[in-house]
Amino acid sequence: MTGAVRQIRESMRSLGAVFANRDLVRLIFGWGGMTFATWAYSLALAVYAFEQGGTTAVGVAGLVRLLPGALASPFAGMLADRHSRKVVLVLSALLAALAIGLSAVAVIADAPAWVVYGLAGLFTVASTPYVPAEGALLPRVARSPLELSAANVVRSQLDNG
């Protein structure tokens, strides 16, 4: 057996370990869903902003979406340390989904662009605690270092794939 085949088998065994752990699967699929939602929402916001005011509006929308999250990050990390990580994870995802839903309603209702951009900022603030809470839960639900490292690989692939 060649080294490449052995590596592939070991990688598949590691992935199997992740998917044999129900709690890790939940975290991984949650992470994948949150990642997809963030990218899809960012793309939809950019298209909306471009239609509203061209490239300048895309830049403004991006700033309004990202700046509040950057300001909230230090506090969001503390939420996961001071409260139930599961509760923070679920509330963060629910509030982010609510912000996306309200954004859709605002667009359909033909609300001013600043309302949609403001909701994008709210989305980022709401989703910011998700990352530290999920990252803190990952080692707790992994049953072995192999599961943890494999879960981190899967998580990275979802984030960057």
pLDDT band at 110 (very low <50, low <70, confident <90, very high): very high
pLDDT surpassing 70 at residue 40: yes
84 φ, ψ (degrees, to nearest 5): -55, 125
Give the model's confidence band at 161: pLDDT under 50 very low, under 70 low, under 90 confident, else very high. Answer: low
- Model confidence at 92: pLDDT above 70: yes
* Across 37-65, average pLDDT: 96
**What pLDDT sits at residue 80?**
82
Q: What is the pLDDT of residue 144?
A: 86
Q: What is the pLDDT of residues 112-129, one digit of tens each?
A: 999 999 999 999 999 999
Instruction: Give the span between the Cα atoms of 57 and 50, in whole angstroms.
Output: 6
Find out whether 98 and 126 touch, Cβ atoms under 8 Å. yes
Alpha carbon distances (Å) from 98 to 58, 72, 119, 146, 149: 22, 18, 9, 36, 32
Q: Which residues contact 67 (CB under 8 A, 6 or more apart)?
A: 121
Q: How would you label 97-134 residue by residue, b for 16+ Cβ within 10 Å and e otherwise? A: bebbebbeebbeeeeebeebbbbbbbbbbbbbbbbbbb
